[in-house]
């Protein structure tokens, strides 16, 4: 999918709601080409950095650091917010990643996770989606990881619309191949999409 459900406007909305200080340090884990990072820099004036273990070089990859989310090249308690858009489900060690997020975030720092979720049977796909978990599973992971949930935004409607558009654009087959699942399997999973905004809990 070219853009995440909700699009960059959705990211803006979520970020704005958090009322971050000017020049806040914002990290985008699994940032891909880093387009969100550049957007955050230009539009919001944040000190935004993208982190990707396999960064996509598209000629304009400013602000992207090659690192693993389990081991961020940042000092403790320095970041105001961490984003993971469609990337948390791909992390091999979700617990370790959350520990690391806790470490780099300031005491009241924000963690925003946007991901595909299963409204039916959860699944683990080999393609570009990784784990598709029930929403309650993701929430539990965050809570156990030391974050309190502040807001859950359901973007399923947007996902469905993108999906329908993809079929019309004759891109559905390629999408199935990329994610390693067929239409029948997707029907069993009943994919949804949500954005979870959480805050780092004290100690």
Partner 1 sequence: MSDPKKLICHRCNRELELRKVDFSYLGHTFYTDLPCCPECGLVHISEELVRNRIAEVEMQLEDK
Partner 2 sequence: MAFLHELVVDCLQFERAFCTAACPFCLDIRDFVGKLQQGRFNIAYKTYQQTVGFPGIVSTLCPEPCRLVCPMKDAGGAISLRLLERASMDFARTRIPDQFNMPWKPRRIAVVGGGISGLACALRLATRKYRVTVFERSDRIGGHLNGLIDPDLLREEIDRPFTHETYELKLNTDILSLDSLDWDAVYVATGSDGPDFGLALNPDGAFATNCPGIFMGGSRIGHDTVRAIADGLNAANAIERYLKIGSMNQPDEPQGTRLIPEAIRIIPGEAIQPGNGGTFSKDEAILEAKRCLRCTCDKCNFHSPLMSYFSKFPKRITEEVEVTLKPSSLDGHATLATRLMSTCMHCGLCKQVCPVDIDTGEFLLASHRAMRETGKMPWAFHEFFLRDMAFSNHDAALIQPPPKHTPCDRLFFPGCQLGASDPDLVIESYRFLLKYHPGTALMLQCCGAPADWGGDDPMHRAAIGSIRTAWEGLGRPTLIFACPMCRQMFAKYLPEIPDEFLYGLFEAEGITPGIRGGGGTVSVYDPCASRHEPHVQETIRNLARKAGFRLEPLFMERTMAECCSYGGHVAIAHPPYAEHAIRKRIGQNDHPYITYCSNCRDIFEKSGKRTYHILDVMFGRDVSGRVQPTVSERQTNRMHLKHRLLRDFWDVETMNAFETPLFLSDELKRKLDRDRILESDLKTVIDDCETTGRKLFDPVLNTFTGHKRIGNMTYWVEYRLKPGGAIEIVNGYCHRMRIEEPGHE
Question: Which one of partner 2, partner 1, none interacts with residue 163, CB within 5 to 8 A by kind?
Answer: partner 1
Q: What share of the chain is helix, strand, coil (3-state, %, to 5)?
A: 35, 30, 35
- By CB under 8 A, which span of 12-20, 27-35, 67-75, 149-157 interacts with partner 2? 149-157
- Which one of 76, 95, 127, 164 is in contact with partner 1 (CB under 8 A)? 164
The 3-state DSSP class for residue 143 equals helix
- By CB under 8 A, which span of 34-42, 73-81, 108-116, 165-173 interacts with partner 1? 165-173
Pull the structure tokens for residue 186: 């997707």
CA distances from 199 to 54, 94, 98 (A): 27, 17, 12
Residue count of the chain, please give it. Answer: 203
- 13 contributes a contact to partner 2 by CB under 8 A: no
Task: Strands of the chain (E only): list them.
Answer: 25-29, 47-52, 64-66, 79-85, 105-118, 123-124, 131-134, 147-154, 191-200
- 170 contributes a contact to partner 1 by CB under 8 A: yes
- By CB under 8 A, which span of 21-29, 61-69, 92-100, 152-160 interacts with partner 1? 152-160
State CA 57 to chain mean position distance: 19
Pull the structure tokens for residue 95: 């617990």
- Which one of 7, 156, 166, 171 is in contact with partner 2 (CB under 8 A)? 156
- 165 contributes a contact to partner 1 by CB under 8 A: yes
Minimal distance, residue 136 CB to partner 2, in Å: 6
- By CB under 8 A, which span of 5-13, 31-39, 61-69, 160-168 interacts with partner 1? 160-168
Minimal distance, residue 135 CB to partner 2, in Å: 6
Q: What is the DSSP letter of 71?
A: B
Q: Is the CB of 12 or the CB of 153 nearer to partner 2?
A: 153
Write out the residues near partner 1 by the rule CB under 8 A.
Answer: 156-157, 160-161, 163-165, 167-170, 172, 187, 190
């Amino acid at each position: 999918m070219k853009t995440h459900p909700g699009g960059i406007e959705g990211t803006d909305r979520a970020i704005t709601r958090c009322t971050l200080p000017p020049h806040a340090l914002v990290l985008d884990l699994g940032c891909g080409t880093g387009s969100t990072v550049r957007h955050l820099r230009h539009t919001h004036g944040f000190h935004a950095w993208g982190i990707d273990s396999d960064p996509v070089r598209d000629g304009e990859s400013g602000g992207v650091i090659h690192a693993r989310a389990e081991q961020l090249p940042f000092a403790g308690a320095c970041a105001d917010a961490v984003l993971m858009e469609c990337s948390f489900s791909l992390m091999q060690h979700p617990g370790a990643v959350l520990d690391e997020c806790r470490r780099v975030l300031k005491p009241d720092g924000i963690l925003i996770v946007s991901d595909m979720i299963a409204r039916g049977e959860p699944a683990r796909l080999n393609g570009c989606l990784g784990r598709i978990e029930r929403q309650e599973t993701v929430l539990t992971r965050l809570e156990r990881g030391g974050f309190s949930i502040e807001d859950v935004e359901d973007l399923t409607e947007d996902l469905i619309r993108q999906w329908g558009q993809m079929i019309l654009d004759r891109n559905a087959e390629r999408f199935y191949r990329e994610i390693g699942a067929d239409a029948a399997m997707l029907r069993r999973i009943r994919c949804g999409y949500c954005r979870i905004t959480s805050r780092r809990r004290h100690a």
